Every structure is written in C-alpha cells, then in structure tokens.
Amino acid sequence: MKFTNMDVENFYRVLAPRPTIIVTTISPDGKINAAPFSFTMPVSSNPPLIAVSSSPNHHTYQNIEQTNEMVINIPSEDILPELWITSEKFPQGVNEIEKSGLTQMPSQKVAPPWIGECIAHMECRVERILECGDHNLVLGEVLKVAAREDAIKEGLLNVEKAKPILHLGGKDFVVGDHHRILKD
C-alpha cells in the first residue's frame, strides 16, 4: 500500500468532508454579518456547546467577540451559490445576507438573525473563546435550536431530503453522493 505525503499545513483536508455552516452575527451598532465556516463541531451535550474556529481578522469573529452572540445556520444544497457570496470580502458593515439575496428572520434568544432558507438554526451565547494558533476557537452555548420539519426524520437530520453541504476544501463541496465544484 502506498501513501502520499501531504503538507502539514493542510492536515485538515483529510478530515473532509466537513459540515458547512453560515454564522450570522450583529455588530454593537446593529450591522448584520454572515459568513460560512467548516471548522466547526459539537463539543458538549450538557451543557449544549458548539465550537466554531475563526480567524480573529474576520468581521464575524470581531462581532462575536464584542457581542458574545451568534447564530449557526445549516444551509442546504439549494443555497450553495448564495453561501459562496456570503464568503466574499465585503467591507465591514455590509450585510452579506442582503448581498446574497437570502432572507433574514428574527431570532428569539439572541440579536443576530436566522437565515430563512437554511434547514436549521442554533442561537448561541458565547461561553468561552480560546486562542489556538492563527485561529480562535469560539465555544457557544446553544440556547435554542430549530429545524424545518421536512429536514428531520425520527429526530435526526434527514440528509436525503435536507441535502446539507459538506466542504472538501477551497471551492469543492459534497452534497449527498455528488461532488460539486462551485464556479466563480
């Protein structure tokens, strides 16, 4: 059996595909921000904690640090092109939800909005932030979780119906058993 050596900096690419989320935040002066992430994972069931890893230079992270709130939105295949728009480097204060043509919905426990077209949402309050190399790990306590009725089957995500987006790296994504490359 042969193995291919890879650059250590790309270690995370063998941990793919990873779930893709869109994190929505709001700045202290009320500006909405949205950005996709695939460096994310559940951390604890009791209390319910989720982790998101972000560069401290991102507007999303800066809003999280200042307000201690975020919403984790779970996108589906239907909004993959819009997800990519939310990743563009817009100036601070530009609302990526509006730029992508997605719909804002009010949250119930935190200020940042849900993205209406997403299949599930988790409203979170920041529990802790840890510096981890060139990224910071944000641990959020899940205060509320909701999912579209057709996205859940027997208490689990119905992946055949919901078609969540999994990130391979760069512009490569997997949805179900299909590999898709998002074009510019």
Average pLDDT over residues 6-19: 85
pLDDT by residue (tens digit) across 26-50? 999 999 999 999 999 999 999 999 9
Q: Is the preceding omega at residue 17 within 30 degrees of 0, hence cis?
A: yes
Helix H segments across 87-166?
96-100, 159-162
Going by C-beta distance under 8 Å and a sequence separation of 6 or more, which residues neighbour residue 69? Answer: 25, 26, 110, 111, 112, 123, 124, 125, 126
The pLDDT of residue 48: 97
Q: What percent of the chain has pLDDT over 70?
A: 95
Token pair listed for 44 = 């604890």
pTM listed for this prediction: 0.91
Domains of the chain: 19-178 (2.30.110.10)
Residue 36, SS3? strand
The pLDDT of residue 184: 46
- More reliable by pLDDT, 67 or 174: 67
